[in-house]
Structure 1
Amino acid sequence: MQDRPNILIPISVLEGESIPEGVPELLANAHVVLLGYHVVPDQTATDQARHQFEDQATRRLDDFAEILEHAGAIVESQLVFTHHGQTTIDRMAAEHDCLAVLIPNATRPIETVLVAVRGIVGIDRFIRLVSGLFATNDVNVTLYHVPEENETDEDVKTLLDGISTRLSQEGVSPDMIDIQISRGDDPQAAIVDAADNYDAIVMGESDPSVATFLFGMTADQVAKQFLGPVFVIQHGEPDDDEETDTE
């Protein structure tokens, strides 16, 4: 039995966000940290917002947790009222040792996953996430890489073959693992183009801050163009910005 990977799902709980169709089944083998957060205007105290909205937010968060648990996930919920949504997501991902943050777009039943590998950074997290979620399922995993100018196809194949071997050792069937190399000047565009034939994407963050990736141009463009769920592997440590969340 694979260890359940810790996955953070941030939900702006009072802004109409919810758990989209297909996401509960996608996370059936995960330990989900369900972060319900509400960004409070600077001029409003977080304690005041909690007093006003806590009951409503808690009911919604409990409903989402029940949906995820019914699909098989283990769920840990936390409600936060904050002035700094991005910092809160980073901090929670670090505190709960989450392998990835999920941008939870709707999906059909998962049959194919594109794993966009940028290099050797974070490979252990990629392997733990992919094997933990998909080793016991009939899911085709494509290891995908857009080489840098100084990378040869042989170098890339060596890298991807090594990851494939490690995934096999963690229980992913070798028959379900493919390798794809694509050269181009715009890795983001290449990933989006390649993802057309896949149900979900696993990719590394391009910035030390998961939240910057989640709310910034790169993640926003990938998630909007792809439309399916995107797992953003966390590599960096969160900033030490002061925060006065109420939890």
Structure 2
Amino acid sequence: MPDRPSILVPLRVLEGESIPEGIPELLANTHIVLLGYHVVPDQTATDQARAQFEDQATRRLNDFTAILEHAGATVESQLVFTHDGQTTIDRMTDEHDCLAVLIPNATRPLENVLIAVRGIVGVDRFVRLASGLFATIDVNVTLYHIAEENETEEDAETLLDGIATRLSEEGISADAIDIQISRGDTPQEMIVDASDDYDAIVMGESDPSVTTFLFGMTADQVAKQFLGPVFVIQHGELDDAEETDNE
């Protein structure tokens, strides 16, 4: 059996976010880093917020931990009061060497999963995550690639065939793996359009750019339109950055 992939599940623990339906079963074969976080206004000290809300947040986090462990996952929980939620998520992902961050929308029992492959960067992480999640369950996996303008059909097929071979070596039935290649200038919209018949999406994180700073990360936009769970594969090592969260 493949190793349990480590997944970061961030929840705004004091703002009504909870574990959506279907997520405990989806993550049954994983190691979950459950991040309960609360974004504190800049003018409020994180110590002050912790003193006021820690007990309430801890109770909710303990309840969520029990739900996930009952489904079969291993869980370690972290409670953070912070001025910058995204920075906290990035740092926790790095510190715990998580393969992916889950945007935890509700899901029905899995039948079909769309894995959006951008290129060769991060392929090892895609294989480790997909095999850890899906090798022990009966699910169909589609490897989806939006080819670059100068990328030939043969190159795209070679990329996806190589990933399919690795997934089958890791326990996913070759008969359950399909490949799909598209072309276009709007990857976010194309992924959403392709996802209509799927129950979950696996995709890579976006590189920081003017577009993502203005409009948010592509995966967040996909998740808002898809409405199902989205696993966002992390690039790996993050730049060292200082953070002043109180933990």
TM-score norm. by structure 1 comes to 0.95
Q: Does 1:158 align with 2:158?
A: yes
**1:115-126 maps to which residues of 2 (within 5 A)?**
115-126=115-126
Distance (Å, rounded) in 2 between the aligned partners of 1:95 and 1:176: 34
Match of 1:25 in 2: 25
TM-fit CA distance, 1:231: 0.3
Distance (Å, rounded) in 1 between the aligned partners of 2:183 and 2:36: 39
TM-fit CA distance, 1:84: 1.4
Deviation readout 1:144-188 (Å, 9 max, x if unpaired): 001001111111001100000000111111011001111122111
Moved over 2 A (4+): 236-242
Contact kept, 8 Å, 2:104 with 2:228, in 1: the verdict is: yes
The AA in structure 1 aligned to 2:15 is E
SS in 2 for 1:78: strand
The AA in structure 1 aligned to 2:37 is Y
TM-fit CA distance, 1:237: 3.5
Match of 1:138 in 2: 138
Distance (Å, rounded) in 2 between the aligned partners of 1:92 and 1:220: 18
Number of residue equivalences: 244
TM-fit CA distance, 1:219: 2.3
Identity between Structure 1 and Structure 2 (%)? 83
TM-score norm. by structure 2 comes to 0.95
Gaps of 5+ in 1: none
**1:147-186 maps to which residues of 2 (within 5 A)?**
147-186=147-186
The AA in structure 1 aligned to 2:174 is P
Q: Does 1:59 align with 2:49?
A: no
The AA in structure 2 aligned to 1:89 is I
TM-fit CA distance, 1:195: 0.4
Distance (Å, rounded) in 1 between the aligned partners of 2:231 and 2:240: 24
SS in 2 for 1:188: helix
Match of 1:77 in 2: 77
Match of 2:50 in 1: 50
Distance (Å, rounded) in 1 between the aligned partners of 2:241 and 2:44: 19
Contact kept, 8 Å, 1:208 with 1:235, in 2: the verdict is: no
SS in 1 for 2:183: coil
Match of 2:232 in 1: 232
The AA in structure 2 aligned to 1:177 is I
Distance (Å, rounded) in 2 between the aligned partners of 1:177 and 1:65: 32
The AA in structure 2 aligned to 1:118 is R
TM-fit CA distance, 1:245: 1.4
Q: Does 1:242 align with 2:233?
A: no
Q: Does 1:205 align with 2:205?
A: yes
Gaps of 5+ in 2: none
Contact kept, 8 Å, 1:6 with 1:30, in 2: the verdict is: yes
The AA in structure 2 aligned to 1:84 is D
The AA in structure 2 aligned to 1:145 is H
TM-fit CA distance, 1:236: 4.7
TM-fit CA distance, 1:220: 2.7
Contact kept, 8 Å, 1:94 with 1:238, in 2: the verdict is: yes
Match of 2:96 in 1: 96
RMSD: 1.5
Contact kept, 8 Å, 2:30 with 2:132, in 1: the verdict is: yes
Distance (Å, rounded) in 1 between the aligned partners of 2:95 and 2:54: 22
Contact kept, 8 Å, 1:6 with 1:97, in 2: the verdict is: yes
Match of 2:187 in 1: 187
TM-fit CA distance, 1:114: 0.2
